[in-house]
Structure 1
Amino acid sequence: MKLLISSILVLITFSSFSQELSKIKVTVPNKTDEVFITGNQENLGNWKPDKIKLNRVSEFEREISLDLSYPSEFKFTRGSWETEGYTSNYWEVKSNLKITGNTSTIYSYKILSWKDSKQDVGSFNFDFKITNNFSPTFNETRTIGIKLPNNYNPLKKYPVVYVLDANTLLKPFLLSIELLSEKFIGESGTDYGRDNIPEIIIVGVFHNNRGYETEPKFDYSTDKSLYLKGSEKLKNYLFNELVPMINSQYQTSEHNSIVGHSNTGHLVLNLPFFNNNPFKNIVALSVNSESEYFKNMIFDYVKTSKENVFLGYGTLDDGFNELGEKLNDKIKNNEISNSNLKVESFEGSHNQLPALATSSSVKFLFRHYKNFTNFNYKSSLPDFSISKYCEEYKEENKKYGLSIDVSSSDLFNFAEKLVKRNNIELFRKVIEYSNNQNDKIPNHLIFWLSLQCKDYETSDKMIEIISKTEIEEDYYHLYADFPLYSNYLLQVKKSPDTLFRLINHMYENSEEYKLEFSYYCAKVLIESNTQKSKSKSFLQFCRKNFKENRIFKLEDLDMLSTKR
């Protein structure tokens, strides 16, 4: 029996110690920094900032191994909330750090500054994951780099950009895509909107033998196949192994793009000629065009290409700019007209071109993302429908795997454009459409726009709506923009009764601005010489509850009282 119990205890002990702990590693800005971790569970101190201290392993490194439950949320301190550690730049939101699942055994962080000290080093993190997978096509191990969006969500779908020649092309495309797709939110919560393109998964393809895998075929006299043996294998690897693997491991929209330069630029430009091509977007830079057969094939293809094709070339790139120059000539001579094609020249050499062309090429591939640049043209057509236009916009963005609604700010921009064109009929249709959406243009903005185009019918409707509103934002804007409403109702409509009804509703329903609306009520009644007797109670309320405010002083109350 003792032997059995001993064996069980040994198994339990072994099982306990064999559980894999999560190691938290932290780099600190100062040699003397002591670091504590605190978070949302007992093993993280339950948000007590001085309970769990990390171990010192070197001058600037601290670490601790913990048994975590997921999701884990935590922060670092030097022992108090007044010394909280910031792992993001001082101008960015200080959100909790999170580990959502047991995806690694080591998690590394860098503290850029402490709450009680100023940051003296900035950081932009563009790390990516490198993986190695055996390829049956090549019969060897292949290396790829994968960069997921910073806010990758397994419940969403993402476009994928595949970058060949990863040793030279991955960096410029990674940096450009990161910047163009970033949702930059300041500490106040304001979105500064650098999401010019959707968030994207980036896959870099490193070549084991670039010459063998990418050498273009220039002699088509005896054989019209498009690739040599090595590049044929690379195409098959992309089509049959890499793209399916990425689709199976990550949430992708299957809206795939591929990038190549020089030899790989030539290679990617041939991909659309295969029936099972998985790439909807092609970026081909510095493409050699020594073969007349190849040039004519490309000229015919781009006239009607369904894929988006960006071809970039350098003016100083002798031998690799001929195809681009000839395509540009054909576009200028109206021999080629296809909105899916963009040919652009850059003042640079062969090796300079990728850095010069990256941003322009990426923006072209995703030019329809949240794009309303065609609104003025579309809305000028006789059969224009705002609801149809918005539905087409949603469908266009679904190509990227995104479900994007037209926001209130988008609708406001439409309405503002129509006001500038003095198209009152269509302006009213946009307002009607907005009022049927969950995210609608705020009432005060509609009122302001209606005054700009002198659409007093809409102005009156908005006055009626705001006179019954229970929206706190309406209370604030009537308080802040009172002259806008009073001038319209007193000078244009000659209706002090309507103005009093409007602000009396605010007085009765707004706690925050009750004092100011009481003053406005008294002022309107007295100065318009209507229902003066009612003004007494408003003045009494103002005196009884007076506090410093931006609308009136005690002297103003005295002056109003003398007018009664």
Structure 2
Amino acid sequence: MKYKWLLLMILLFQTINSQSQKLGDLKIIDSKVLKEKRNIKVLLPSDYSTENKYPVIYITDANYNFEIASTYLTQLIKFNAVPKTILVGITQEKRWDELDVFWKENGIKFKDFIFNELIPYINTEYSTSGFNAIIGHSDGAEYNHLLMLQENNPFRGFINISENLNTDISNGISEYFKAYKGKKLFYFIASGKYDSKYRIAAGEAIENFYKNYKNTNIIFQNKLYDADHQNLLSKSLIDGISYIFQDYRNLSNYNGFKDYVKNYKGDVESIYGFTPNENRVDVDHFFVKALDTKNLELYEYIVEYCRENKIFNFLTYDRSWHYYYMGQHSKSIQYWNKTIENFEGTSPRVFYYNFKKAIDSYSILNNPKGAIEFLEKCKKVLPEYILEFDYFIAKVSYERNVEKRKGKKSLKYCWTNYKENRYFKKEDLDKLKIK
């Protein structure tokens, strides 16, 4: 079903919910490349298990932006809008040297640290899926596209917030967009209306490079926000994280439920490196669609699929209502009778509030005697509602001129034992007459 985005946006700014995500250990990496010890922040799913595989998002400038990234990611995971993901924050004290947009010695060293030390370390310490993304703001955004152009680039997701082109690498980016043939890559740029005009222009330029080639292996978006250089991070980051995981639970990618069943898990595994579990909400989307379109064949297929995979437990009462909704009245009656025989977890009160649908189905099928027989069974199983069942026996008998003896007996019972109820009043009894 549709995500509750309004509720999500309210919750994004609350404290991290421990049920969705938990802070892992603060790791210290003894880097030979940087010739120093570097602190790394790690956020793990609360139910992290080595039996599962997880995508990884890396974020530079973790000294100041790790908290907001962890908050956003936590809430997106909580609402299952993105998969359970590991977040790795790279702290920096000399960011101007390391996020070197002119690609000098320190910038290249920092790249070597990320590619050759940090990512292998995370892959060794944790159960990772092979899908890596990186978030960069300001110089971090520009540094990201320099990383992308490297031959051994390990990232397939880029969230570049406030891009720039301090160095003219237009040909390099254009050639990359033209020649890339790897697995699907996600490239998200966020620009701010109140940011530097050069940064806005850089985002537009990179967008034009992409439009020139429209490489189907690259999914690209450049989005403009009512934001300045600093608050652009807070306004765009949730969109960026959602963008790189757009193929997770994207039901619009599939031409119906059978296509979804056949391809969804394989598609996610191919793109993000893990096999998703069955999702009840996603299946429910197709199920409701089957009901709304009254597609009996699809409905039966989904019911059987859910039974085999233990996704939903369709009670006989549920199916009686479903068939009624789809206009399958013979099948609806069949399951109403199965329900009255065993109830199978359905509460008597729920049955009481809805049994009139069975009477309606009998009426549509022109089977008043069947309706009275059904109501007689209801009286035996649910004696607390005899008054209401007798009313409908009398109503069917009198209106359809059948089973007159049973009709008179039931009407007499209703007069003698009348009390306020859901279905009829005393004046309704006055209206019943033998034809």
TM-score normalised according to structure 1 size: 0.61
Query: In the alignment, is residue 405 of structure 1 matched against residue 278 of structure 2?
Result: yes
Q: Which residue of the partner structure matches residue 486 of structure 1?
A: 359
Query: Contact 1:146–1:202 at 8 Å: present in 2 too?
Result: yes
The offset of 1:123, in angstroms, is 7.2
Alpha carbons of structure 1 residues 426 and 337: separation in structure 2 relative to 1, 3 Å: farther
Say if 2:224 is the partner of 1:345. Answer: yes
Equivalent residues of 2:332, 2:358 under 8 A apart: no
Contact 1:282 1:309 in 2 (8 A): yes
1:321-340 matches, cutoff 5 A: 321-329=200-208, 335-336=213-214, 338=216, 340=219
Provide closer, same or farther for how the CA distance between residues 275 and 416 of structure 1 changes in structure 2, counting only shifts above 3 A. Answer: same
Supply the AA of the counterpart residue of 1:299: S
Native 8 Å contact 1:161 1:257 kept in 2: yes
Count of matched residue positions in the alignment of Structure 1 and Structure 2: 405
- Structure 2: how far apart are the matches of 1:553 and 1:424? 34
Change (3 A) 1:132 1:434: closer
CA distance in 2 between counterparts of 1:548 and 1:237 reads: 81
Indicate the residue corresponding to 1:371 in structure 2.
Answer: 250
2:192 to 314, 325, 332: 314
Deviation at 1:524, TM superposition (A): 4.0
Aligned residue identity for 1:260: G
Number of the residue aligned with 1:164? 60
* Displacement after TM superposition at 1:215 (Å): 0.7
Alpha-carbon contact 1:444-1:477 (below 8 Å) kept: no
1:423-502 to 2 correspondences below 5 Å: 426-427=298-299, 429-431=301-303, 433-434=305-306, 436-440=308-312, 441=314, 443-456=316-329, 459=332, 462-463=335-336, 466=339, 470-473=343-346, 477-490=350-363, 492-500=364-372, 502=374
Give the aligned residue type for 2:135: V
SS at structure 1 position matched to 2:197: coil
CA positional deviation for 1:145: 1.4
What is the aligned partner in structure 2 of residue 234 from structure 1?
110
> 1:419-463: CA deviations, max 9, x gaps?
545655545544554455422355555544544443446545644
Contact 2:251 2:260 in 1 (8 A): no
* CA positional deviation for 1:201: 2.0
Q: C-alpha displacement at 1:500, in angstroms?
A: 4.7
1:259-298 equivalence runs, <5 A: 259-292=135-168, 294-298=169-173
Describe the shift of the 1:453–1:209 C-alpha distance in structure 2 as closer, same or farther (beyond 3 A).
Answer: same
How many Å separate the matches in 2 of 1:412 and 1:264? 41
Summarize the Cα distance change of 1:148–1:532 in structure 2 as closer, same or farther, 3 Å threshold.
farther
Residues 68-91 of structure 1: per-residue CA shift (max 9 Å, x gap):
xxxxxxxxxxxxxxxxxxxxxxxx
* Greater CA drift, 359-368 or 527-536: 527-536
Pair 234,411 (structure 1): closer, same or farther in 2 beyond 3 Å: same
Q: Aligned with 2:27: secondary structure?
A: strand
Q: Identify which of structures 1 and 2 has the higher relative contact order when contacts are C-alpha pairs closer than 8 Å and 6+ apart.
A: 2
The Cα offsets for residues 249-283 of structure 1, whole Å up to 9 and x where unpaired, read as 33333332211122222222233444543323121
Indicate conservation of the 8 Å contact 1:489/1:495, yes or no: yes
Partner of 1:415: 287
Q: Are 1:197 and 2:82 counterparts? A: yes
Equivalent residue, structure 1, for 2:38: 142
The aligned counterpart of 2:7 is none
What is the deviation of 1:166?
A: 0.9
CA distance in 2, matches of 1:285, 1:481: 54
Q: Partner residue of 1:177? A: 73
Q: Deviations over 1:384-415 (max 9, x none)?
A: xx3342232223444363531142x5334223
Task: Give how far 1:327 is off.
Answer: 3.6
Query: Match of 1:147, SS?
Result: strand
- Larger deviation: 362-371 or 434-443? 434-443
Q: Is the 8 A contact 1:164 1:204 kept in 2?
A: yes
Farther off after superposition, 305-314 or 413-422: 413-422
Q: CA deviation at 1:150?
A: 3.7
Q: Deviations over 1:86-136 (max 9, x none)?
A: xxxxxxxxxxxxxxxxxxxxxxxxxxxxxxxxxxxx972478453323112
Residue identity opposite 2:394 in structure 1: I
For 2:112 and 2:418, the matched residues in 1 are separated by 77
* SS at structure 1 position matched to 2:26: strand
What residue ranges of structure 2 are gaps of 5+ in the alignment?
A: 1-12
Distance in 2 between the 1:197 and 1:481 partners?
38
Q: Tell me how far apart the structure 2 counterparts of residues 547 and 257 of structure 1 sit (CA, whole Å).
A: 70
The 1:534–1:411 alpha-carbon spacing in structure 2 relative to 1, beyond 3 Å, is farther
Rounded to whole Å, the distance in 1 between the matches of 2:133 and 2:420 is: 58
Equivalent residue, structure 1, for 2:8: none
TM-score, normalisation: structure 2: 0.76
1:197 is paired with a residue whose SS is: coil
How far 1:154 moved relative to its partner?
5.0
In 1, Cα distance between the equivalents of 2:308 and 2:377?
24
Distance 1:155 1:424, change over 3 A: closer
CA contact (8 A) 1:163 1:260 kept: yes
Q: In the superposition, relative to structure 1, how do residues 401 and 318 fare at CA in structure 2: closer, same or farther (>3 Å)?
A: same
Change (3 A) 1:347 1:300: farther
AA matched with 2:61: D
State the distance in 2 between where 1:460 and 1:334 align: 61
Q: Does 1:515 align with 2:384?
A: yes
2:282 aligned counterpart, secondary structure: helix
CA-based RMSD of the aligned residues comes to 4.1
Residues in 1 aligned to 2:131 and 2:335: alpha-carbon distance in whole angstroms: 43
Conserved? CA contact 1:314–1:349, under 8 Å:
yes
Tell me the equivalent position of 1:394: 265
1:212 aligns with 2:97: yes
Question: For the structure 1 residues 241 and 368, does the alpha-carbon distance in structure 2 shift closer, same or farther, using more than 3 Å as the test?
Answer: same
State the distance in 2 between where 1:216 and 1:538 align. Answer: 88
Aligned to 1:114: none
Q: In structure 2, what is the Cα distance between the partners aligned to 1:334 and 1:463?
A: 61
Shift of 1:535: 8.4
Distance change >3 Å, CA 562–CA 348, structure 1 → 2: closer
**In 2, Cα distance between the equivalents of 1:248 and 1:541?**
77
Question: Could you say if the C-alpha distance between residues 557 and 418 of structure 1 is closer, same or farther in structure 2, counting changes exceeding 3 Å?
Answer: closer
